[in-house]
Chains A and B, each alone.
Chain A
């Protein structure tokens, strides 16, 4: 809570060579289904890492493992050089890992401020909710992200459009002193202008020294903001690219290789 996304000051960076968040040989099964198989993945502070893959490649499972929603069956998660166990969403939050989910984990009956502070409400000395502090900081955070379309921070989330909800969800993630921000399909439901706003925001997060993981189907968006790209296919990590040294064609081939021929009727992944 000491810093908002808008304070813009340079953060102290760990040595850029060491990954801030690293997964080594992580596996996850759901019964007979192998969702992840010995996946290696790493992201450094200040890096925007894209995680791409076809439907069912294991992208959502991977981020849910990092967020503490699913326990991992095998492998290691290393945060800032130390092996960690993430047993629940609170553990992830304590490490500074924030996730913006595709299906927007917002409660419709609560207002914008209440959602942004859900689970981490500020209280006064008498253990009452400190509504004024929360409302002020939530308003400041939204303003710092140039979110001007929300009429009032005291309106319920039920009344917001898809783009407004996404803005609230992103603001909720970056309001905390987070070190790793994971965005699951952040632009999937957005119009052109709001997509632009979110992509600008993603880039700004990287510039501020956060490790950013962006999960996306949209390679156009990925090439616009990501420094590096990790490709998942059928639960395995199959390729890594540096965005400036690759082409969309190469990435598409990594996503689909060995698949189009074996699965008849499958369509090309949109570029």
Chain B
């Protein structure tokens, strides 16, 4: 790499990167094609400015709350998609798997004499997701059919199951206040502020503990100022969100669900052996196998997680619409969710990506959908624009990949 190679950090000395070195490393990474979330944040800013100029209702508190509720289902499904994309696989069935879960929830909660407790209905819907994903994973790994084909078959078959479950009813109205409350009720305004303080304090504690542990082990640390800025940044971002939504109806419960699952799956991917093995299988399956990792088990688990998150998204979508019909799981949910994961920066080639990509991508998708809706444009225009944005995002991925190759990081 470079001619000057400083010695490795040892237990004897605890070098600390300076702010300047940190900034230079970041700039070097960007030039080398490690763009991180930079393109998407720039993209979101452009989207916000463009739509606000066109229609001054776009950047209002009320519309921000709408946007959250609309984007939540895409974000949840896209979190599952991230797991299969990390393996370099794809799941085309998530749309109708979410439909099956939504319909199951609504049917089980129908007040027709056989109503089950809400928790049982939700667990049954989530369980159906896990079972469906495990089935996909088993067929893909044990029989050896490409995931594209298996989940394409799933797309058809689970669409059929949705129709069979609905039967002659046409539309099933969701009749459970708890499930409807996900997307239609709001966190009390004071509670939202308390949750914010708890979240930021938790983040700060984790960061400081990490710093202290690394210092104790004599490892290179990020400058404390950078860590402080990170905590401050999170506080400012969350405070902005809470203060804006509190001007309107408040924070929808579904936003809490998205936040909690974002933290949970990020932890699973970045801080557990399972997550590490997911990246290893996506990066070099043969190396993973030689390291003694059960590659098939990892694959099956990722497909199960993907369908589980599709089920979560399906319940949220049913909650937002307050009903399910024969169209449940159809329409844009599949393509928007995959697009969200990809736009957020998950590589289609496997091994690269974060759970937060799902959230950022869903924000972009929901913003475009919402903004074009405000302008009174048709679905046709929405799809054309969303398609172009998807292409642009993948182009950024491919070009930054070329940057990585040129700087020897691919």
Contacts and interface: CB of A to CB of B under 8 A. Distances in A.
A107 B6 contact: no
A105 B292 contact: no
Given A89-B292, A139-B8, A139-B10, A132 B287 contact: no
Contacts of A153: 8-9
Contact of A119 (B10, B284, B291): B291
Contacts of B292: 88-90, 93, 119-120
A148 B8 contact: yes
A143 B8 CA distance: 7
B7 interface: yes
Contacts of A118: 276, 280, 287-288, 291, 293
A142 interface: yes
B288 A148 contact: no
B287 A109 contact: no
Given A119-B288, A150-B8, A158 B217 contact: no
Given A118-B293, A121-B273, A127-B272, A107 B287 contact: yes
A81 interface: no
Interface stretch (B143-151, B193-201, B402-410): B402-410
Interface of B is mostly: loop
A136 to B, nearest CB: 5
B290 A107 contact: no
Contact of A148 (B7, B267, B273, B280): B7
A129 B9 CA distance: 20
Contact of A128 (B218, B271, B409): B271
Contacts of B273: 121, 123, 127, 129
Contacts of B271: 128-129
Given A89-B292, A107-B279, A159-B407, A136 B284 contact: no
Interface extent on A, as a size class?
35 or more
Given A106-B284, A119-B293, A158-B409, A129 B11 contact: no
B233 to A, nearest CB: 22
B351 interface: yes
Contacts of A101: 290
Interface in A203-252: none
Contact of B217 (A105, A106, A133): A133
B248 interface: no
Interface in A98-134: 99, 101, 105-110, 114-115, 118-121, 123, 127-129, 132-133
B290 A159 contact: no
Nearest to B6: A151
Interface in B214-229: 214, 216-220
A153 B218 CA distance: 14
B11 A67 contact: no
A197 to B, nearest CB: 14
Contacts of B277: 119
Interface in B260-311: 267, 271-273, 276-277, 279-280, 282-284, 286-293
Nearest to B275: A129
A132 B283 contact: no
B290 A136 contact: no
A120 B287 CA distance: 13
B290 A89 contact: yes
A26 to B, nearest CB: 20
Contact of A105 (B218, B267, B291, B409): B291
Contacts of B171: none
Contacts of A143: 7-8, 10
Contact of A107 (B7, B11, B351, B407): B351
A109 B275 CA distance: 13
Nearest to A93: B292
B1 interface: yes
B191 interface: no
B287 A136 contact: no
Contacts of A127: 272-273
Contacts of A107: 279-280, 283-284, 287-288, 351
B352 A140 contact: no
Contacts of B1: 151, 159, 161
Nearest to A122: B273
Contacts of A158: 404, 408-410
B5 interface: yes
B18 interface: no
A149 B10 contact: no
B154 to A, nearest CB: 28
Nearest to B214: A132
B133 to A, nearest CB: 23
Contacts of A177: none
Nearest to A123: B273
B217 A108 contact: no
Contact of B410 (A108, A129, A135): A108
B2 interface: yes
Contacts of B287: 105-107, 115, 118
Contacts of A190: none
B6 A110 contact: no
A156 interface: yes
Contact of B5 (A115, A136, A151): A151
A121 B283 contact: no
| Smallest CB-CB A-B distances: 8 pairs | A119-B291, A109-B283, A107-B283, A109-B351, A90-B292, A107-B284, A105-B287, A118-B291
Given A105-B286, A118-B288, A139-B219, 9 more contacts: A89-B291, A107-B280, A119-B292, A136-B219, A147-B8, A148-B7, A148-B8, A150-B5, A161-B1
Interface of B: 1-2, 5-11, 213-214, 216-220, 267, 271-273, 276-277, 279-280, 282-284, 286-293, 351-352, 404, 407-410
18 contacts: A67-B290, A89-B289, A89-B292, A93-B292, A101-B290, A105-B287, A108-B410, A110-B283, A118-B276, A118-B291, A119-B293, A123-B272, A127-B273, A128-B272, A136-B219, A148-B5, A153-B9, A158-B409
